[in-house]
Structure 1
């Protein structure tokens, strides 16, 4: 067993540095066989995240090849694939980084139990989060339901220093067979949108580290205010890379902490945003219903519109609501695969409050369209916006998308970049939207821009009246 290979099962940890499982495998001087498995969790991904995963796997494969290693690709149920690889390679151990959604937890428990019953070493490692959800507790021993106390609880906890990239990844004498990544066709559902989104992707571990370095050097000092301005490149952009583990939260945290020590005040807000991500996972672990049901269960009685084909919902999905902030943000998502955080709040509020449409419809749409899709963050963000999640009463958060635009994009720079209709010389990005969307939508830049399907003031009144009548 001391010389038998170790299978390192990659999932949402597509990096070599600060990878606890890979470091442990390489530290034992045994041959290391990196593996990625296309199982049901991959098959169920939406179009954009599945396509982005394919790009990430290609980049990881290239990075491993530069180290004299390989990424073995196999398709099937995880346990069946791992058992077959053990038979083929004589591997005596399987290492992986933990995931926290209910399906992954169930799968991993079954895999670990079966492998250990077969006499193999099966070990999971942290790394996707800084604080394991079961280690953060209130003073009474329960889990946190409000973000601010959660932040205060963890902000002074030690976050382990990131591990360096292994200097060497020992290779086996013989490599097992691997599927061809192209044969998986992970980008098939993106169709023509892939060519539009691709220039906006910052792919792989190297790009993620460069992105973090540039953010800390040039942007983090003003992050507290700049992050709310959709026309300004004031955010880190790291959600794309964190979603697939091309960079670790530990690496981001320590970079932010150093910046804060250097007097860059906005760094504290950056650290809080990293902990907001942790809080989403904390809630998903303790209350997994947040993924597919109202976190506040009294919202089960609310009469949401649940018809995704309703004309106003279709207008929302296509960026044709007549509300400029909403439409610009939706179009940004189709062209770049991401959406500014302020825009996410506005489009979510408009769908759930002004259109009184179930947050699950928006959650599902984002799941299909975002290259930075993350199960916990997406669910919590939608429920926070809808009022059914971990936040105060909805009366205090019905965003007016017009006054929000006046406040955060007063010169309409953001709107001009993403909306083509009615402009003599539309921005290239506004025109790219029409190259990204399905042809069946039958939209063109010279169309007339629509009147609001629900005016901002009117929608707020309707929402508040609906809540009052339901006793919220």
Structure 2
């Protein structure tokens, strides 16, 4: 057991905020010195280029907020258990606090760390913080986890969610701070290369920016959320995904904001709350069936003949945003320029890759993992398997999004395609031209190039997909 006067280490991970932070609040409430740390361990090192760059921006913002109230963020690189042991030896810390993670690799790491700390007489405490409901607290009437979204939504929508807590006014500091790495020496943006300068203007990181985005959405967006969130050419979504992915804002704060909007009669509030639970659904699935991250959630799809060559010319055209399908290409280019992609676009590009191009969803999952600043392991995996048909709560496998009719429906004025596709425009906007500054030079693409013909047309792709499904007897797969 630790001495009452010893310091407490607060280990930040995907919770880069000061408010609604149970681990930090508990540490500060004890009155002992608090040492905030972030460890660049093997899991953080393994992040894709864009999420790792975005992590660096989030850490810089957290550093600034801690320094503003007289504290610091200690940065260390290495295996988590070894780093913590070194810091404990250097500081005499008697306790380590953190908020939980739910992916299998993080759980294994945290279990090992907690066992090691306790074996050495160090208090180790994990707290909720990344989800509205801990995965083991939400069960069906017969026990077990929800495999379909709608009944889960019905089960949790009236549940009490703890009110958000304010950030601590002060954080007790130690007499002597341990050594810290310099954030710039980690070079977290190296993998982005020249794309970092293109994406940077589209990203505002940190807890303050997250709260400002939530406030803007509540003031100007949530009322029309039902109708505008599917139109990619307008700012109709909450824009909170990148902040939730790094925990710069808590789902609890978003939930209570949605409840207030519903009480005020905002028509889009219920849909916003439902989207928060959709994110929750992804995490509960990952926790209870972790194979969703790497393999088909429905094992019947293991025999499906998807293309698996990530260098196939059709796959390259998809990655480049040059499939000849304007909705697909606009969405892929939006991701290159901003690090994000409209949710309707995500569904269209995923359907086109897995169904029109008959390519394995893992190739798309990996490409998103490299390019999305709001990358999230659970949401990314579930989204791709939902679109491919191999996942839980999926639409029937035979539903194939038509990228042409989808564009006619959701981009009637052409604003989205004009914003991102330069070819064929006499005076393309800067957003469309920025794509050519973000992409690898080896692609040798220019806005003066002719826009390509479709690599696989809408009707042809649907026919190919349905024939493949029929040939593999996928009609026998049960869908809820």
TM-score normalised over the length of structure 2: 0.98
Q: How many Å apart are 1:3 and its aligned residue?
A: 1.0
Task: Please name the residue that 2:257 is paired with.
Answer: 255
Task: Please name the residue that 1:149 is paired with.
Answer: 151
Task: Please name the residue that 1:71 is paired with.
Answer: 73
Query: After superposition, where does 1:328-367 map in structure 2 within 5 Å?
Result: 328-367=330-369
Task: Please name the residue that 1:32 is paired with.
Answer: 34
Q: How many Å apart are 1:225 and its aligned residue?
A: 1.2
Deviations 1:235-258 (A, max 9, x none): 110001000000000000000010
Q: Which of 170, 173, 183 is matched with 1:171 structurally?
A: 173
Asked whether 1:89 is paired with 2:91, we answer yes
Query: After superposition, where does 1:171-250 map in structure 2 within 5 Å?
Result: 171-250=173-252
CA distance in 2, matches of 1:467, 1:12: 39
CA distance in 1, matches of 2:337, 2:81: 38
Deviations 1:95-114 (A, max 9, x none): 00100000000000000011
SS at match of 2:296: coil
Task: Please name the residue that 2:415 is paired with.
Answer: 413
RMSD: 0.7
Query: After superposition, where does 1:310-459 map in structure 2 within 5 Å?
Result: 310-392=312-394, 394-459=396-461
What is the number of residues matched between the two proteins?
472
Deviations 1:309-341 (A, max 9, x none): 000000000000000000000000000000000
CA distance in 1, matches of 2:464, 2:30: 64
Deviations 1:272-300 (A, max 9, x none): 00000000000000000000000001000
Deviations 1:410-447 (A, max 9, x none): 11110000000011000110000000001011000000
Any unmatched runs of 5+ in structure 1? none
Contact 1:386 1:394 in 2 (8 A): no
Any unmatched runs of 5+ in structure 2? 475-480
Task: Please name the residue that 1:47 is paired with.
Answer: 49
Q: How many Å apart are 1:394 and its aligned residue?
A: 3.5
Deviations 1:110-147 (A, max 9, x none): 00011011111000010100100111000001110000
Q: How many Å apart are 1:232 and its aligned residue?
A: 0.9
| Runs of at least 4 residues off by over 3 Å | 392-396
Query: After superposition, where does 1:100-139 map in structure 2 within 5 Å?
Result: 100-139=102-141
TM-score normalised over the length of structure 1: 0.99
SS at match of 2:97: strand
Query: After superposition, where does 1:280-299 map in structure 2 within 5 Å?
Result: 280-299=282-301
CA distance in 1, matches of 2:414, 2:74: 48
Q: How many Å apart are 1:392 and its aligned residue?
A: 4.2
CA distance in 2, matches of 1:385, 1:173: 54
CA distance in 2, matches of 1:169, 1:376: 32
